[in-house]
Amino acid sequence: MNIKMIQDIVEEDGILFLTYGGFISQSLISSMMEALEKEAEQNNLNLGISSNIFTIFIELTQNMMNYSKSKNLEYDENSPEGLILVTKDIDDCYYIHSQNIITEDDKNRIEPKLEKIVDMSKEEIKKEYRLLRKSGKDSHGKGAGIGFYEIAKRSDGIKFEFNKITDEKYYFHFISKIKTNKEK
Amino acid sequence: MHDLIIDETKYTPYIKLDATNGIIEIKGKSYPENTFEFYKPMMNWVEDFFNSDRKEKTLVNLEIIYFNSSSSKLFFDFFDLLEEAHNKGKEIEINWIYHSDNESALEAGEDFKEDFLELNFNLVEK
């Protein structure tokens, strides 16, 4: 994992209060969730906003648990590992970063989907989310195929980048921003 | 028909399926590792329950604090089962219970209510 990347993120965002890199399991996710719940409680976050943060965190970590690959393993052999960071800036905006390794095939599948979502308005995202949920079109064994829509609908902006490692594998870095100083 | 109770864990809700009194209750957080597998016993129970010749009204109380996207799909499929039963003449009342401070849970409830207009679906502020 890239320590320099963490430094850059902290310099840009401000306060880092949760970071983890390595193997990801369901019990680890729920332990990190306890830390997040504590943070939300201490900052008197509104329940609506904190549940958005929780859901985004869960989506990103469960994605990494289910779909991550390793640099060293065979092309599409799963390896549930990744890097996750939660930071906060001086305006109390929260940022959730995730980084994991994916195959080129996965990149080609995810990238157009995310590019489409980035260009959509919040209303369009919510509409598409409900349409996909209803049709079950992208559903598969473990997921409903609506994870990125779930994240986008609860975020105040998403960003992503793919960084090439080898011809076949990429680092997938995803950032979700959540504002907390909303008018109620 | 037997009752079924599933205890709450850190990432799955408390589930009570009470065949005697006709009450279905789901309460807590929902982000299982494998959502569809986790809810399978509940979904099977619900199907069997509405296939029985029970005449009395069924009460469904849902209080979900937060959930992952596959749980969202699962709840959609659950309401689909309820709508099917409703269309076959079963009387069902749903209470979607949310904390007054949790507008995300309210919005989730509003979306389900709109997707299942046939159902008797109440949004209940706590």
Domain B4-125 bears CATH identifier 3.30.750: yes
Task: Say if CB B115 and CB B107 are below 8 A apart.
Answer: no
Give the alpha-carbon dihedral of A111, A112, A114, A115, to 10 degrees.
110
Residues 19-38 of B with CB under 8 A from A: 31, 33-36
Considering only the beta carbons, identify the residue of A47, A130, A154 that sits closest to B111: A130
Residue A183 has pLDDT above 60, yes or no: no
Distance, CA of B76 to chain centre: 9
- Using the predicted structure, report yes or no on whether residue A184 has a pLDDT greater than 60: no
CA A120 to the chain's CA centroid = 18
- When pLDDT is averaged across residues A64-80 and rounded to a whole number, the result is 86
Residue A83 predicted with pLDDT over 50 = yes
Among partner residues A51, A59, A130, which is closest to B102 by beta-carbon distance? A51
Share of chain A above pLDDT 70, in %: 92
pLDDT in tens, A98-109: 999 999 999 999
Q: Assess whether pLDDT exceeds 60 at residue A182.
A: no
- pLDDT tens by residue, B33-52: 999 999 999 999 999 999 99
State yes or no: pLDDT of A121 exceeds 60: yes
Which residue of A25, A44, A51, A127 is the best one to mutate when testing the B interface, meaning the one whose CB has the most B CBs within 10 A?
A51
pLDDT in tens, B39-85: 999 999 999 999 998 889 999 999 999 999 999 999 999 999 999 99
**Per-residue pLDDT, A136:** 79
Rounded to 5 degrees, φ, ψ at B92 are -135, 135
| Cα distance between residue B11 and residue B33, in whole Å | 9
pLDDT at A70: 87
Q: Is the pLDDT of residue A46 over 80?
A: yes
Beta-carbon pairs below 8 A across chains A and B: 79
Over residues A5-24, mean pLDDT: 81
Residues 69..108 of B with a Cβ closer than 8 Å to A: which? 69-70, 72-74, 76, 99, 101-106
Q: Chain A residues with CB inside 8 Å of B36's CB?
A: 141-142
* Dist CA A132 CA B65 (whole Å): 22
pTM of this structure: 0.92
**A51–B65 C-beta distance less than 8 A:** yes
Q: What confidence score (pLDDT) does residue A72 get?
A: 82
pLDDT of residue A9: 74
Token pair listed for A109:
């599948």
Mean pLDDT (chain A) is: 89
Of all residues in chain A, what percent carry a pLDDT higher than 90? 65
* Cross-strand partners of B27: B14, B63
Residues A134-162 pLDDT 10s: 987 767 766 667 999 999 999 999 999 99
